[in-house]
Chain A
Amino acid sequence: MKKKIVVMALVVFLLGMTALAVKNSGGYDGAGNMGTVAVIEINGFLGETGSGSLLQSSFTSAEKIMEAIRTARERKDIKAVVVRINSPGGTSVAAQEVGMELDRLRKSGKPVVTSMGDICASGGYWVACSSDLIVANPASLTGSIGVIMEFNNLEGLYQKLGIRPEVIKSGAYKDIGSSARPLSPEEREILQQVVGDSYEQFLEQVEKGRQGKITRAELQKIADGRIFSGKRARELGLVDKLGNYYDALDLARKMSGLGKDSPVETLNTGGFWDSLINNVLAPSLLPRGDFVKMKY
């Protein structure tokens, strides 16, 4: 009888530990921790790989950001995501692509919290609008809702250098935005329409992301490209809460039901070499004047 009790106790202990291991492993699967908050950093100008340049002080590849978002979506141990944005904006496409990926992440049931750094403006703010909650520092710079398309007219310089570009084109507007001549009124009108259309998309994005927090009419009053402090943005409804990075982490934990000590893992810790490879491998060592780039 005594033997049976001892053996039973050992077996129960063994099975108990196994059950605990199985149960705990269900929530792990990733970084070896139960329920992780992932951090995705967006630092500097947001663009597609190759759209930045070595002369640009800070550049973030949209592809890398999207990859990190996908990882956060696929990994079972990641329960919430904080997007730390310190970006003055980026190309329209890059901002839209990252925003779409964040929307998919939220649809998968994982809360996304944006934490603003020094600046989260324009394209950066577009991305922020694809999160469940936006946290800004009172002094963060945000807003700049608008679209800009710019290029240089180097006609005068070419003349001084004795360069006379010859253009053979299939249509009247094929060399629209050429640096060799000024814009014609028709071309200006076409480009203005493109910018207007993109601006409308930006307004829709903010409207969708800030539903119930700011009306279309209120938005249109302030969406003229101006920037705001985090504090003012909070009053206007562009931001949900004032706080720092750790407040954003705590909010993410709370929203996903994680404990206070749940670990944090940064998914895209790219450094100088990443940036170098991104730009050197792509043919854009110098700032390009090849075609106009539309930016948020």
Chain B
Amino acid sequence: MLSDILFGMVFEPAATLRKIGEEKPVFLALLVYLIISLINLPLSRGILLLQNTSPSVYKPHWFWIFGGIGLFFCFLGLFFIAGLYSLLSEIIYKKGNAAGILAGFCFASFPGILGLACQYGAMLLDLERVGFLCSFLAVLWMMVLQVLALREALDIRSSQAVLLFVAPVLLLLILLALLFWVFYTGTSLIK
């Protein structure tokens, strides 16, 4: 089952994400996400050390402390974003599937960690630009998978999934514009 999903995430993402959206293997997905997050820590540290850019890695304990906190917030963010997408989808398309989105997003992070591993390997071989490209492509791939996860879990069209995917950012921009407007008119009134 797990090997099918992981294989599918790489070679047959749409069909696999559809299955995940239907079956909602939340526990398995969270377990995979936890393992991916744990693997992410030493790999990120290795990359930072090779790049020699982050002074916080000078003190190993700080890295692990920040890593642990980061892990906690990653999970928090995952639940939040899955809930938010489901809520937005219910409002916009009258369809919700928070558990399906959550499971899909967990598995969608698998290529991301592969990209990070490739980046580390490339950096060890002194191919820093190739490593950066690997990581960049993996992030793009992850985003595509997340859009696919939304499409398959909510059974919507691709364009609708893309719109939903960018909706939180759009909402944030609208909120900021609103705040700016309120602040601007408020200060105008004071004059």
Q: A: which residues have CB within 8 A of B?
A: 3-4, 6-8, 10-11, 13-15, 17-18, 20-22, 24-25, 28-33, 75
Contact = CB atoms under 8 A, between A and B. Distances in A.
B4 A18 contact: no
A249 to B, nearest CB: 19
B66 to A, nearest CB: 15
Contacts of B48: 32
Interface in B78-93: none
Interface in B98-130: 113-114, 117, 120-121, 124
Interface of A is mostly: helix
A31 B52 contact: yes
A25 B42 contact: yes
Nearest to B111: A10
Nearest to B54: A32
A31 B48 CA distance: 11
Contact of A18 (B43, B57, B58): B43
A18 B7 contact: no
Nearest to B63: A25
Nearest to B59: A29
Contact of A25 (B10, B46, B124): B46
A17 B58 contact: no
Q: What is the size category of the interface that chain B forms with chain A?
A: 20 to 34
Interface string B21-45: 0000000000000000001001101
B60 A4 contact: no
A213 to B, nearest CB: 38
A32 B49 CA distance: 4
Contacts of A14: 39, 113-114, 117
B2 to A, nearest CB: 8
B3 interface: yes
B51 interface: yes
Nearest to B119: A17
B117 A13 contact: yes
B52 A10 contact: no
Contacts of B11: 6
Contacts of B42: 18, 21-22, 25
A22 B64 CA distance: 12
A25 B59 CA distance: 11
B39 A18 contact: yes
Given A13-B117, A14-B39, A18-B43, A29 B60 contact: yes
B50 interface: yes
A29 B63 CA distance: 10
B139 interface: no
B40 to A, nearest CB: 9
21 contacts: A6-B10, A7-B6, A10-B114, A14-B39, A14-B117, A15-B39, A17-B120, A18-B39, A21-B42, A21-B43, A21-B46, A21-B120, A22-B42, A24-B49, A25-B46, A29-B58, A30-B58, A31-B58, A32-B48, A33-B52, A75-B58
A7 B4 CA distance: 8
Contacts of A31: 52, 58
| 4 tightest Cβ-Cβ pairs between the two chains A and B | A32-B52, A21-B46, A17-B117, A3-B7
Given A14-B117, A32-B57, A21 B45 contact: yes
A32 B56 CA distance: 11
A7 B7 contact: yes
Contacts of A32: 48-53, 57
Contacts of A10: 6, 10, 114
A148 B39 CA distance: 62
Contacts of B57: 28-29, 32
B46 A4 contact: no
Given A32-B50, A33-B52, A25 B45 contact: yes
A3 B16 CA distance: 13
B164 to A, nearest CB: 29
A36 B12 CA distance: 46
Nearest to A21: B46
A13 B53 CA distance: 26
A115 B182 CA distance: 68
